[in-house]
Structure 1
Amino acid sequence: MVAHQELVDRVAAHDGVADAEEARRAIRAVVAALARQLGPEARDALRQRMPASLWSDTGGARTDPAADSGDLARNVGRELDCPPERGLHLVRTVLSEVALSEPDLTDGLAGSLPEELAQWTRDPIGAAGRSDTGASGAPGRIDEETLRAAQTRLPDWEGDTRGLTRSVLLPSDRIPPLLARVDRIGRDLDHSAHHEITDDGIAFTVRTVSVGAVTTLDIELAERIDQAVAEVGSGG
């Protein structure tokens, strides 16, 4: 079993973690979010390896696995009253230290996580090297491998790790309701897309300007734009 103070100290030593108290709160929040996604066997293994003093009993039934890392980031952010970008940083930090401390948990955790986060349990040192987690509160870039995996779910988006763009063919009378929906999505995520009206519709670009790259939050934004396009295009 990982020692309580050792895990707290290791998490607290990361850039962007204020102190031991924030590390302790982050561990509880991340473990609680994970436990709600794990099956009984993986959940029991996690509980057995975590000190009781750091385990937050989530209660209730297992929820559906998160579609992407943005779901977990927002859950942790709400629990810690911080932005989702910071929540993502803390999720990655805790996952990497749990994996380094208890490598036997790797397969069980990775199998229940979105690929963007599974790599932080399979290869925490390599994941840290491939992904720029930035300073406190800064969103983290995703690497080319993660972007390629995400684009399998986003076939209409083109680009690279610097930005993704989707051109939507749409009658002019459908553009205002689509923009209204995309604006609501931006407010909900606290992260907006750039748009440009074209001759035959509208083009959206997702990119996190503060880091000059595509982040996990941009992937979530693109997925939700796709949903809005489908709804508006069908007359919804």
Structure 2
Amino acid sequence: MAKEMEGDNRKRRALARAAREEGHRASEAAVSLGSSKQRRHAEHAERAEQNGPPPEGAHKPGPHAPRPQEAPAPEPAWPRRPPPTGDNTPDTGALRLRYRELVTSAADQIGADFDTARDAARATVAVLARTVDEAGRRRLLDVVPAELTQEQDLSTPLGQADVIGFVREVSEQLHCPPEQGRRRAEAVFLAITEQSPGVLGELHLPDELEELTRPPQPGGGLVGPDGHTAAIDDEELRAALRRLPDWTGDSRAITRTLVLPPDQLERVLLRLDRLKQELGRGPRISRPDERTAQFAVRTTNAGAVTAIDIDLALRVDEAITQANAGLA
């Protein structure tokens, strides 16, 4: 019997080799050692397909068994569903002034960078909150951007609730002269009014502060805390000239002399002309010769140098640099 099985196996192997040489698999020619089992598996699969699924068993639910509940699909993050009908609660956040637009507008008014204008807006809003009554404070906090009120003292009443006290408090927070403090507060008020013309009126400002909300007079001149143009003192002048190494002068006027090839000098003067149109004022310019220009700044109605003259001198220096002019 064993010899007979061995002969059968040898025969199958020979037939399998022959099938492979002809490009077929041994199982396709039914000559592999397991071919009989493969045929039985194929026949079983064919019967199962004809007879349908096997009958239900102990662990298989029947066709009438209850199906498990499927988890509901998650609610999409977008688009959001509209609020329920009849919900008329106002969205105060949607009514807030726009932070970046407000600060940028104030920066343009005072000719400063974004950070300086942001600090001015924070100080002005904080002092304003301490000046108005409780109803005005709540209204103010409803509309101003949260970035301007975070970590601020908004409730301690201001000791002197008039223009001088308001400007003094803003200036102390900004560490700047009162003239600059007033100008920066006015710029913030103007930026608020540009976005929401009626909001300052809703705060019921003291009558003494109304003048801070009026548009600045043309010409760009700074005024002191009491509304009159104020000169800087000698110490402030020395500090300003340290920031303006190319300028010289005293409390009456500061000057700068620029010597350049004529074509470069003309480029500078054109840029300064655009600066004058932008600010409403510019330096007095004299031309001793075609290669030389002398610039002088002072506030005429004060007969002296004011804080805005220092700002103007800084802008003149920036214009010279932007014109790509090298000193000769």
| TM-score normalised over the length of structure 1 | 0.52
User: Would the alpha carbon gap of residues 35 and 174 (structure 1) be closer, same or farther in structure 2, given more than 3 Å must change?
Assistant: closer
- Asked if 1:72 corresponds to 2:184, the answer is yes
The Cα shift of 1:80 comes to 2.0
Q: Among residues 177, 182, 185, which one is paired with 2:272 in the alignment? A: 182
1:162–1:214: 8 Å Cα contact kept in structure 2?
yes
Q: Among residues 298, 303, 314, which one is paired with 1:207 in the alignment? A: 298
**Aligned equivalents of 2:315, 2:120: Cα separation in 1:** 26
Give the match for residue 133 of structure 2: 51
Give the match for residue 13 of structure 2: none
Q: Among residues 208, 233, 258, which one is paired with 1:143 in the alignment? A: 233
**Aligned equivalents of 2:324, 2:175: Cα separation in 1:** 27
1:178–1:228: 8 Å Cα contact kept in structure 2?
yes
Mapping of residues 165-176 of structure 1, within 5 Å: 165-176=255-266
Mapping of residues 124-163 of structure 1, within 5 Å: 134=228, 139-163=229-253
User: Would the alpha carbon gap of residues 85 and 61 (structure 1) be closer, same or farther in structure 2, given more than 3 Å must change?
Assistant: farther
The Cα shift of 1:77 comes to 7.3
Unaligned runs of 5+ in 2: 1-117, 150-173, 191-212
**Aligned equivalents of 2:132, 2:270: Cα separation in 1:** 45
Q: Among residues 23, 34, 37, which one is paired with 2:122 in the alignment? A: 37
- Asked if 1:228 corresponds to 2:319, the answer is yes
User: Would the alpha carbon gap of residues 226 and 158 (structure 1) be closer, same or farther in structure 2, given more than 3 Å must change?
Assistant: same
Larger helix proportion of the pair: 1
User: Would the alpha carbon gap of residues 180 and 77 (structure 1) be closer, same or farther in structure 2, given more than 3 Å must change?
Assistant: farther
User: Would the alpha carbon gap of residues 230 and 74 (structure 1) be closer, same or farther in structure 2, given more than 3 Å must change?
Assistant: farther
User: Would the alpha carbon gap of residues 179 and 60 (structure 1) be closer, same or farther in structure 2, given more than 3 Å must change?
Assistant: farther
User: Would the alpha carbon gap of residues 195 and 74 (structure 1) be closer, same or farther in structure 2, given more than 3 Å must change?
Assistant: farther
Partner letter of residue 61 of structure 1? E
**Aligned equivalents of 2:252, 2:265: Cα separation in 1:** 26
Q: What SS is found at the alignment partner of 2:243?
A: coil
Partner letter of residue 187 of structure 2? N
- The farther-off stretch of 192-201 and 176-185 is 192-201
**Aligned equivalents of 1:195, 1:48: Cα separation in 2:** 45
2:253–2:305: 8 Å Cα contact kept in structure 1?
yes
The Cα shift of 1:198 comes to 3.6
**Aligned equivalents of 1:197, 1:50: Cα separation in 2:** 52
The Cα shift of 1:188 comes to 2.1
Partner letter of residue 142 of structure 1? I
User: Would the alpha carbon gap of residues 231 and 45 (structure 1) be closer, same or farther in structure 2, given more than 3 Å must change?
Assistant: closer
User: Would the alpha carbon gap of residues 226 and 66 (structure 1) be closer, same or farther in structure 2, given more than 3 Å must change?
Assistant: farther
- Asked if 1:61 corresponds to 2:153, the answer is no
Q: What SS is found at the alignment partner of 2:323?
A: helix
User: Would the alpha carbon gap of residues 202 and 149 (structure 1) be closer, same or farther in structure 2, given more than 3 Å must change?
Assistant: same
**Aligned equivalents of 1:88, 1:73: Cα separation in 2:** 12
1:154–1:223: 8 Å Cα contact kept in structure 2?
yes
**Which structure has the larger Rg over C-alpha atoms?**
2
- Asked if 1:83 corresponds to 2:168, the answer is no
Q: Larger RCO: Structure 1 or Structure 2 (Cα < 8 Å, ≥ 6 residues apart)?
A: 1
Q: What SS is found at the alignment partner of 2:281?
A: coil
The Cα shift of 1:214 comes to 0.9
- Asked if 1:219 corresponds to 2:219, the answer is no
User: Would the alpha carbon gap of residues 185 and 225 (structure 1) be closer, same or farther in structure 2, given more than 3 Å must change?
Assistant: same
The Cα shift of 1:207 comes to 1.1
The Cα shift of 1:76 comes to 5.1
| TM-score normalised over the length of structure 2 | 0.39
User: Would the alpha carbon gap of residues 54 and 163 (structure 1) be closer, same or farther in structure 2, given more than 3 Å must change?
Assistant: farther
Partner letter of residue 134 of structure 2? A
